[in-house]
């Protein structure tokens, strides 16, 4: 029953649960807590999938006195071919998810950092801040000679915040302050690592049970968190003007941009209700529940079975 429960839980946490949460409107008023809840759901889904595989393995390879001996093939006679075959299939899928998850982590990390390193070299070469402003570069800020308003950041150990001449011309001092605060909030919180983790989780599970819902929702939430940081620095109106100005800008892969397809929603949020402490508390409690309750309810039978397996093998 532990294996079946873990399998069902994993399927729910990568299917209907993310779909329902993505349709909710309350995360707009509690983005940090909602992001924690999304992370708890993703972690619980991965742990549940691995736990299902371990529970099934402990059953399939259980040492017994029947036919099959140490290989546990005697379980075929106890469970019957249909149930035993289902166990084998689920165990195989769990192994596939584990391998895909590890491979996805490395592939996403390596590819993203390679793109950022290449783009960081380009913006360092094309930086015109010394020419146009008569001053040396200041920290991570780089300015490009581009007419279109453009603002984004390149996270990493050697991070960069990139603005265009068009953005500096179209925006006032307060708007520039707001957009810089937005991008630097991304860098301080390392929101790029959160996106990489959800990208790896999406790639790990088979396509028929996973979707881009969680990734898109998390991408919106980290933008909301950066917006909140900018509001605390410059206020909502300057930030809204800056977001509208940079809404149609093209962003390179691996960067975190101020504008984008969610600009309208974010600007409306700036003029709407403030963040809700009640929603935040409820989301944090849900996150704890998602991680703790299934572990306590489902892991105890598996631990009992594992203890029996170890005692039998002695």
The string of pLDDT tens digits covering residues 90-134 is: 777 777 777 888 888 888 889 888 999 999 999 999 888 765 444
Considering only residues 141 and 211, tell me which one the structure prediction assigns the higher pLDDT: 141
Range scoring the smallest mean pLDDT among 134-148, 277-291, 295-309: 295-309
Judge contact between 179 and 167, C-beta under 8 A: yes
pLDDT at 266 over 90: yes
pLDDT at res. 75 = 59
Alpha-carbon torsion, ordered 125, 131, 136, 142, to 10 deg:
-50
164 has a pLDDT exceeding 60: yes
Count of structural domains within the chain: 1
* pLDDT surpasses 60 at 173: yes
Q: Is the pLDDT of residue 31 over 90?
A: yes
Sequential DSSP letters for 153-220: EE-STT-EEEEEHHHHHHS-HHHHHHHHHHHHHHHHHTHHHHHHHHHHHHHHS-TTT--SHHHHHHHH
Q: What is the mean pLDDT of the segment spanning 13-36? A: 91
Mean pLDDT score, 289-295: 81
What 3-state class would DSSP assign to 62? coil
Strand locations in 78-237 (E): 141-144, 151-154, 160-164
pLDDT over 70 (residue 313)? no
State residue 298's pLDDT score.
Answer: 62
Q: What is the domain range of residue 117?
A: 2-313
């Amino acid at each position: 029953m532990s294996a079946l429960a873990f399998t069902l839980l994993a399927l729910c946490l990568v299917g209907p649960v993310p779909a329902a949460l993505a349709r909710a409107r309350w995360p707009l008023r509690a983005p940090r807590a909602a992001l924690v809840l999304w992370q708890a759901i993703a972690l619980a889904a991965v742990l549940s999938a691995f736990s299902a595989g371990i529970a099934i393995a402990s059953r399939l390879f259980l040492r017994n006195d029947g036919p099959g001996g140490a290989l546990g093939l005697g379980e075929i006679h106890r469970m019957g071919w249909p149930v035993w075959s289902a166990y084998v299939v689920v165990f195989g899928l769990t192994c596939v998810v584990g391998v895909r998850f590890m491979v996805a982590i490395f592939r996403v990390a390596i590819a993203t950092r390679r793109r950022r390193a290449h783009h960081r070299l380009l913006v360092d070469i094309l930086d015109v801040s010394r020419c146009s402003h008569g001053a040396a570069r200041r920290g991570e800020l780089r300015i490009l000679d581009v007419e279109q308003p453009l603002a984004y950041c390149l996270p990493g150990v050697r991070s960069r915040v990139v603005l265009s001449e068009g953005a500096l011309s179209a925006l006032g001092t307060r708007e520039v302050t707001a957009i810089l605060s937005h991008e630097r909030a991304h860098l301080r919180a390392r929101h790029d690592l959160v996106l990489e983790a959800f990208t790896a989780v999406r790639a790990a599970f088979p396509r028929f049970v996973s979707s881009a819902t969680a990734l898109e929702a998390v991408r919106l939430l980290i933008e909301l968190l950066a917006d909140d940081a900018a509001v605390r620095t410059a206020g909502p109106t300057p930030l809204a003007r800056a977001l509208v100005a940079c809404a149609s800008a093209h962003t390179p892969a691996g960067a975190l941009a101020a504008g984008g397809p969610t600009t309208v929603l974010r600007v409306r949020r700036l003029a709407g209700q403030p963040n809700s402490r009640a929603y935040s508390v409820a989301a944090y409690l849900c996150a704890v529940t998602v991680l703790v309750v299934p572990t306590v309810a489902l892991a105890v039978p598996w631990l009992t079975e594992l203890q029996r397996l170890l005692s039998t093998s002695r």
